Each structure stands twice: as C-alpha cells, then as structure tokens.
Amino acid sequence: MSLNESNPATQTPDTSISESTLSFFKALSDANRLRVVGLLAHRPHSVEELATILDLRPSTVSHHLSKLTGAGLAKAQVDGHYHVYSLHLDALHQHAKTLSSYEGLQELAEIDGVDDPFDRKVLSTFLDADGRIAQFPMKRKKFEVLLRYALRLFEDDGPWTEKEVNERLETLNDDTATLRRGLVDHGFMERETGGGEYRLLASN
Amino acid sequence: MSLNESNPATQTPDTSISESTLSFFKALSDANRLRVVGLLAHRPHSVEELATILDLRPSTVSHHLSKLTGAGLAKAQVDGHYHVYSLHLDALHQHAKTLSSYEGLQELAEIDGVDDPFDRKVLSTFLDADGRIAQFPMKRKKFEVLLRYALRLFEDDGPWTEKEVNERLETLNDDTATLRRGLVDHGFMERETGGGEYRLLASN
DNA sequence: ATAATGATTCGAAATCTATCGAATCAGATA
DNA sequence: TATCTGATTCGATAGATTTCGAATCATTAT
C-alpha cells in the first residue's frame, strides 16, 4: 500500500522530471539525430547538406533539427538563405553532469510538477523514496512546503469530513493530526463552523 | 553532390552508431523510465514496488525494466520470487563521458557498419565529414582499410566497365586512378583479360 | 518584379511504442 | 503435491514518431 492508488489527487500523470531532461533524451533517441549531432561535432552544416549526407528529404531533416534545437542541443545561424546549424555544447555538458552525479540521478524521481528549487530541496530532504513524509522539519517555512505538497491530495472539490481528510493524509504520514492541524493553522484549510467539515481556502 | 544518392551500394540504412549508444538514449527517452532510474538511484526496488509508486501494471514496469537492462542501465538480482533491480552505473558514466568529449561526439557520425576499432580509427582520420577520402595514407595496412571502405560501392553484381568504376570511385576521391589501381593491386578486384571489365575477387 | 533556391510547415501514411489484461512461468508456502 | 505470489511474455490497442510530398515563406538572383 503506497501513494497512488485509490486516491484521485495522486493520479498525477508523468508531469514530473525536469521537462528539459526528457526532451534532451528524446532528442537523442533517434539514429539519424545522433548522426546529425556527430556531423555537427565536426563542423556546422546546412539543412541541405545534412539531407544529402543522411539521404533524407530536407523537410525531414528540418523536423529533426527542430527537436535538437528544442532540446538546446543545436542552434541555427541564418546566412543568406542557408540556415547553418551548429552544436550547442552547454546543454550536452550540463546533462552529462547530471548523469555522472548521484544527486543528479536521484532528482529524476523528484516530485511531480515542483519547479521551485527551494521546494525541491526541502522535499528531497524530508520525503522518502516512496513520496511519504519521513520526518517533519522544524522550520516553519520548510513545514509549509510539505503542507503545500500535501494539498495535492485535495484537488477535487471538497468539503471533506475529518475522517476523509485523515485517510488521505495517512498516505503521507501516520501522524495525520499534525498534518491536519498544520493545514488549518497555516491557512491552507478551514474547518466549517457548522458540520465541522474541512474545505480549502482560496489562493491555492 | 555527395555520397548517398544514385548509388545502390551507399543506400546503407541507419546501421551506423554504436548500437549501444542508441539503445542507451532510447532507454532514457521515456518519462516513466527516467523516474525508474531516479528511484533506483535512491535504493534498489522490486518490480511490484515500482509498479505501485509509478501507478502502472507490473507487466508495464517489466517492459520498461527490460529496456533499461538491455541498455546496461539496470540489473536484476533474483531474491526469493522478488526480482530486485538496481542501477548499473558503469554504462551511465561511460555514456556521460562520450557526451562530454568532443571525439566521443564525433564518433556518433562514424561510418556505417564498421566494427573494428583500428578500422574506425583509420577511417575517422582519412575521411572528411562527408565520407569522402581527404588524403591517402602511406602505410599499406591503412590504405587497405580505405580500399575495403571503397568496396561498399560495389555491392551489386558486376562486372563494371572502367568508366563505371571511375564514376563510383569519384564519389570518394577525384584521384580515381589511384583507387582503381589500389583495388586491383591489393587483390580486391581483377580486370578481365577479354573485354577489360572489372569484377570483384572472392573473399569479400 | 519575377523567378529560383533553401527552409519550414502541414497533412497523410507507415511504423513504432507504451500500456493493459490474460496467460504462462518460477519460487515459496501450505 | 497443490497453491499462492511475484515476474515475465504475449496479443491487442491507442497514441506517438518518422518520413514523405505539397504548399508556403523568405531571401537571393535574373
């Protein structure tokens, strides 16, 4: 029993992974594009040249080049009506470094859709490999990062009973009371005065 | 006018690129597989665990893992009836190095279907980026590597007239006489006594 | 201005890939 | 031995990718 199963809010698709890493590998996952990179490593080439060497139509080469530039691997320099493409080494070296470092690799499994570097850092510190909260941080600011992380369990329309809230929070940590009180005290949720049900506050 | 156009022998498909490089990038060109790598970078996981975390069926995860192991990125350790997968860092570091070094990148455009390391070295030295012979080596052994490279222009059934032979060799170097004589003198081709046409000798 | 050339975009066809469920296989357990 | 559980393999399907040719753009040449 883990995250992601009966819970609608955890059905997050593959929006994880620094989008750029994926497009980087996708760009290099085709034989012809690898050859293009090899050719550009020798010297810059125009689209037509590449088309002749690779025995492909210019439109096809253009398509490949757009994937490479999209991944930051190549850049075009317009000269006359030739578009001369050359390699852009920065992206290559950066991703090569990711592959060489252990931390870089671990970040590939980082939490979905979290862009802020501070948030990523906090989450990678306090979540275990299964995405559960391993330990609560002392600092208020870090605790709030975890609370925002917990909010993704409540993306459907509320309100929810305390029992429902607890069930969802339990996928993150057994100490549901701390989490539930945290959500209220830090202004992410409110408890209705009437039935005592919970709902989200705006701004989320 | 370059290699690869009206010539049947140059219609070589994408058999270039150290097959392993391509499968490496293909293995990492999927969001879920990247997440698997990230998870394995934290600690080894069983198929079932991964399936739960990623919210995929075990059969799907199995499929992904077979791609990763096929690329040398992961390896399974059978324990009980659990298959515990862990990262295999060697492949990662090796390919990361390819990406960081200029020569490594250039080899991505290396010549189709040449496996022998010595041959690859010679060809990368004496061919230009378009696959033409930039210069003739002095050493007999290296010259023969180029002659074997030239043989791929004659994969259809001969014989060919001297004019036809020259036309094909011209795609490699303007000095067709040197190449043509080389092919004969080193025993790759023979000239018929009758009509003077050229044909291949066996062993090729 | 008109034509020509190289590049890109668009739409369509063929191929490949990710994913699932069902069937099978292999240890472990009763 | 029979059964259960986790892993793999197989077949099917929906979706993505590669590739082409035709149409369009932009820039140079006539």
Chain B residue at shortest CA distance from A171? B53
B71 CB neighbours strand C below 7 A: no
Q: Which residues pair with A191 in a beta bridge?
A: A198
User: Which pLDDT score, from 0 to 100, does residue A10 have?
Assistant: 31
Tell me the pLDDT of chain A averaged across its residues: 79
Chain A residue at shortest CA distance from B27? A29
Contacts of A202 (CB under 8 A, 6+ apart): none
Whether B52 and A5 lie within 8 Å, measured CB to CB: yes
- Return the higher-pLDDT residue of B139 and B30: B30
CB A172 within 8 A of CB A150: yes
Both structure tokens of A201: 């506050």
Instruction: Report, as an integer, the average pLDDT of B6-27.
Output: 60
Residues of B in contact with A35 (CB under 8 A): 14, 16-17, 108-109
Cut 0.75: pTM above it: no
Nucleotide with minimal C1' distance from the CA of B58 is D7
**Rounded to 10 degrees, what is the CA torsion of A180, A183, A189, A194?**
40
Phi, psi of A15 (to 5 degrees): -70, 10
Number of other residues whose CB lies within 10 A of the CB of residue B23: 18
The DSSP output letter for A133 is: B
Nucleotide with minimal C1' distance from the CA of A85 is C7
Of A17, A26, A35, nearest to B35 by CB-CB distance is: A17
User: Which pLDDT score, from 0 to 100, does residue B23 have?
Assistant: 93
Whether the predicted pLDDT of A5 surpasses 50:
no
What are the tens digits of pLDDT across the range B147-169? 888 877 776 666 788 888 887 88
- Which protein residue's Cα is closest to nucleotide D9 at C1'? B59
**pLDDT confidence of B111, banded at 50, 70, 90?**
low
What are the tens digits of pLDDT across the range A170-180? 878 888 888 89
The residue with tokens 């990406």 is B99
B62 CB neighbours strand C below 7 A: no
Whether the predicted pLDDT of B73 surpasses 90:
yes
Residues of B in contact with A41 (CB under 8 A): 102, 105-106, 108-109
- Cis, bond preceding A13 (omega within 30 deg of 0): no
The residue with tokens 């989490």 is A179
Cα–Cα distance, B191 to B178 (Å, whole number): 15
Both structure tokens of A195: 């039935």
User: Which pLDDT score, from 0 to 100, does residue A104 have?
Assistant: 80
Both structure tokens of A71: 């991944």
Which positions in strand C are less than 7 Å from the protein's CB atoms? 5-10, 17-23, 26-28
CATH class of A19-93: mainly alpha
Phi, psi of B89 (to 5 degrees): -75, -25
- Write down the domain spans for chain B: 19-93, 113-200
User: Which pLDDT score, from 0 to 100, does residue A173 have?
Assistant: 84
Cα–Cα distance, A67 to A28 (Å, whole number): 9
